[in-house]
Amino acid sequence: MRKLTPALVLIALSFFATQSFADHSPKKMMRNIKAFSQLSVTGKLGPFDVNYDKFGSIPKAAKTTIENKKIDKWLGDKFNLAAIVIQDGKPIYERYNAQRKINSNTPLLGMSMSKTAIAAAVGSLLCSGEIKSLNDKAGTYSKFLASTPYGAVSIRDILQMNSGVSPLGRTDEKRFNRKSRGVQKFDGKANVREALNFYKSAARDAGSQMNYHSTDSLALSILVEEIAQQSLAKYFHSEIYSQFGESDFMQWTRDKSGTTVSFSDLVMTAKDWANFGQYLMTQKQNNACLGKFFSEGVENSVATGKKNRSRYGYQSWVFPVNGKATMVLQGHGGQFIVLDEATNTLTLTISMNEKYKVGNLFSDIGKIAERVSQ
């Protein structure tokens, strides 16, 4: 066994002793991000052996940056780890936190931005005809989901966190997350399907009220796997990442049977996260099939009840930006990709805390993106 160092113990205490959706402490977030960036080297998150799919090797290319003092006023915050702005298809800003030893080759955890990668896989299956309609019930395509409360729920409702399966709120979510990864009391027992089986019945009618919860994302991972006959991670890498990947490195955790832990845990370089967002925005602008899929998600997005006026599309958020309903990828520690089609500007920020001097990213990301695009 690999010797457990004090640093790994500290990571374990900080990452797994808290609820994954509630703790935004900068120091703990930084340790979490580093743990995931090193997973393919250590094979561990804290003291726990965690399974993962890795594609390629951590890049060793020449390090790049692009200075832009105007944009730096908005994105050059002490909590920022990486920021990229692409305008009219051209990078105009690229910043990395050298003090935190972050550069253009550093693999970075996207947190819940990973969820949009699930949606891209579902959209790809829809475009290839393997999914006939988003109104179809998940149980039509998945033998396992047919045996769960998800079997009678439409794929569309699951994409929009509107399945009705999970009780309102997220107080029980860490149990599902830990079981899926195989940590804490579930050490060595990582199993996404067994996690979903914690719910024996739905909490309310599908489509009645959106509830942001990791279980809907886990159900979609199984849906993609059973349709594509390969894990979500492998399908996303071959069908989507291959279209935009620049660094040739991607990592995503999985359970002991190979099922992707989809609610989070996708790791790519900041450049590839930005490339992913740019790829999706280009698909939307070109009215390509995958672009139509995501545009439909924006147009038919559901209310979240949040004060920031956000809505929820297909495993991604919708914010008003420059007068237009705008697709936004979002992660809980301050990870955002804003697809501002009104000005053809993409804004990426990967942070260890959302409380920037210019405003809280969760409440002000739309305004910040507007300033960046000017």
Three-state DSSP at 3 gives coil
Residues 16-56: pLDDT tens digits?
433 333 346 899 999 999 999 999 999 999 999 999 999 99
Domains and CATH numbers, the chain: 108-373 (3.40.710.10)
Longest dimension (CA), the chain: 55
15 has a pLDDT exceeding 80: no
Q: Express as a percent the part of the chain with pLDDT over 70.
A: 94
The amino acid at residue 178 is R
Tens of pLDDT along 194-252? 999 999 999 999 999 999 999 999 999 999 999 999 999 999 999 999 999 999 999 99
| Buried residues in 173-188 as b, exposed as e (16+ CB within 10 A) | bbebbbbbbbbbebee
This prediction's pTM: 0.93
The Cα-based distances of 254 to 33, 109, 111, 274 in angstroms read 17, 15, 15, 24
Q: Residue 349 pLDDT more than 50?
A: yes
Which string of b and e fits 210-243 if b means at least 16 CB within 10 Å?
Answer: bbbbbbbbbbbbbbbbbbbebbbbbbbbebbbee
Residues 127-151 have a mean pLDDT of 98
Identify residue 324 by its one-letter amino acid code: K
Residue that the structure tokens 């399908």 belong to? 235
Burial class (CB in 10 A: 0-12, 13-18, 19+), 18: middle
* Side-chain half-sphere exposure of 329, counting CA atoms within 13 A: 33
More confident residue, 1 or 147: 147
The predicted pLDDT at position 333 comes to 87
* Residue in 98, 24, 47, 53 with CA at minimum distance from that of residue 254: 53
